[in-house]
């Protein structure tokens, strides 16, 4: 009788342990899924809104007449506001999937986030006001603000990613504060800007300018298209040099970023993808295939961001004050019920967003006549 009871208890305990292990594995899998879902939304935003920012940067000097300026703006007119939805979606997903990361990052990066919000507002306001004001001096001011806001946004985005890769001075409660700069050196108590984050900002500036130039080649005609095409090789050369410098800088500042690549050598396909994408931009632009060149630029952005995510995984926000304070996937993730319900709503929302993108871009075909600024 005692033996039967022991066997029954052992079987029950084994079943309980198996159920607990199954739940733990499912929870780990959900964390993995949500990490990459957020990464996909960030990539989607950078690829789609990236050419908007690039066109804005080029708007400072590339168009030379009013009709060319209108053609430049019309090339992004139907899509720029829809592209920014991906940024909101990414922030909203962080809110319920990784609340600790959301709370820590949005408080610690309060100053740059406020700057980014104002720059986004300025871009939208200048685009809208330009359609209602026909006074030369005001048009020049609005054009300048639009271009400058676009350039600063690109720099801030690149610097923000570099801050995440480098790490921040997390305290024991999970919060941190970053001044705009300290001694301009990465370290235990860095600032938002140092030599490494400035390199990240420059990479983003050049990459998105190139992305915007390739978009203009697809969407505009005449002299504006020719001038955009003539910029490609110079921008591409600068981007190649900055990419190499940024990769060397990342390894120097955070050697741990290579750990996942060493453990899974197959993932070295990511840096190879970066090189192939840059070669694709040069080759397809040289052979007058602008759509394929633009897709190669999109691939470059994808591999650069995917490589950065893989370099820190499963850490979401590294700490310069010690690895024990890192905000990791297991520490930051929400409960299983929240993730399961969120996944259902995420699939529904993203289906609508993707359908909208497909519809808008399928309707927004052809080139814009730079002489008349009309479709």
Per-residue confidence in pLDDT tens, the chain, 375 aa: 555 555 555 544 545 544 444 656 766 788 888 888 888 888 889 998 899 999 999 999 999 888 888 899 988 888 887 788 888 888 888 888 898 888 888 888 888 889 999 999 999 899 888 877 777 788 889 999 999 999 999 999 999 999 999 999 998 888 888 888 888 888 888 888 899 999 999 999 999 999 999 999 999 988 999 999 999 999 999 999 999 999 999 999 999 999 999 999 999 999 999 999 999 999 999 999 999 999 999 999 999 999 999 999 988 899 988 888 899 888 888 888 888 888 888 888 888 888 888 888 888 877 877 665 544
Distance CA 51, CA 301 (A): 11
Q: Which of 119, 148, 143 is nearest to 131 (CA)?
A: 143
What domains lie within the chain, and their CATH numbers?
50-363 (1.20.1630)
Read off the tokens for 333.
């993730």
Distance CA 289, CA 10 (A): 68
Read off the tokens for 219.
């969407």
In this prediction, residue 371 carries a pLDDT of 61
Read off the tokens for 21.
């292990």
In this prediction, residue 191 carries a pLDDT of 87
CB 149 within 8 A of CB 122: yes
In this prediction, residue 189 carries a pLDDT of 85
Query: Strand, coil or helix: what is 20?
Result: helix
Distance CA 344, CA 10 (A): 38
Distance CA 48, CA 83 (A): 6
194-218: burial string, b at 16+ Cβ within 10 Å, e else: bebbbbbbbbbbbbbbbbbbbbbbb
In this prediction, residue 17 carries a pLDDT of 45
DSSP annotation of 186: -
Residue 338, CB-side half-sphere exposure with 13 Å CA sphere? 13
User: Between the CA of residue 344 and those of 24, 54, 268, what are the distances in Å?
Assistant: 20, 34, 33
Distance CA 40, CA 55 (A): 23
Q: Write down the residue that tokens 């009309």 correspond to.
A: 374
In this prediction, residue 22 carries a pLDDT of 60
CB 297 within 8 A of CB 211: yes
CB 225 within 8 A of CB 62: no
Distance CA 161, CA 158 (A): 5
């Amino acid at each position: 009788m005692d033996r039967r009871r022991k066997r029954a208890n052992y079987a029950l305990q084994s079943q309980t342990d198996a159920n607990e292990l199954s739940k733990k594995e499912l929870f780990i899998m959900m964390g993995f899924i949500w990490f990459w879902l957020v990464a996909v939304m960030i990539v989607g935003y950078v690829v789609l809104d990236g050419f908007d920012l690039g066109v804005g940067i080029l708007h400072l000097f590339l168009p030379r007449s009013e009709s060319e300026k209108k053609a430049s703006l019309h090339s992004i007119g139907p899509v720029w506001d829809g592209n920014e939805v991906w940024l909101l979606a990414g922030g909203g997903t962080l809110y319920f999937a990784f609340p600790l990361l959301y709370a820590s990052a949005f408080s610690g990066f309060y100053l740059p986030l406020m700057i980014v919000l104002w720059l986004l507002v300025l871009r939208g306001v200048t685009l809208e006001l330009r359609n209602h004001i026909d006074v030369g001096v005001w048009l020049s001011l609005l054009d300048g603000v639009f271009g400058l806001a676009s350039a600063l946004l690109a720099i801030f985005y690149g610097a923000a990613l570099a801050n995440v890769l480098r790490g921040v001075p997390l305290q024991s409660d999970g919060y941190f504060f970053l001044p705009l700069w300290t001694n301009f050196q990465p370290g235990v108590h860095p600032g938002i800007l140092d030599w490494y984050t400035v390199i990240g900002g420059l990479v983003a500036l050049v990459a998105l300018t190139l992305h915007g130039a390739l978009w203009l080649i697809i969407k505009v005609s005449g002299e504006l298209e020719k001038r955009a095409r003539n910029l490609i090789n110079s921008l591409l050369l600068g981007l190649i040099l900055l990419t190499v410098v940024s990769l060397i800088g990342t390894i120097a500042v955070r050697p741990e970023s290579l750990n996942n690549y060493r453990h899974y050598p197959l993932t070295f396909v990511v840096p190879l993808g970066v090189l192939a994408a840059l070669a694709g931009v040069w080759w397809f632009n040289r052979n007058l295939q602008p759509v394929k060149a633009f897709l190669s630029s999109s691939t470059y952005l994808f591999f650069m961001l995917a490589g950065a995510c893989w370099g820190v995984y499963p850490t979401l926000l590294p700490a310069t004050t010690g690895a024990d304070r890192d905000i990791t996937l297991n520490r930051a993730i929400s409960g299983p019920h929240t993730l399961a319900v969120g996944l259902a709503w995420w699939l529904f929302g993203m289906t609508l967003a993707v359908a909208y993108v497909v519809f808008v871009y399928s309707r927004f075909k052809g080139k814009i006549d730079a002489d008349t600024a009309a479709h």
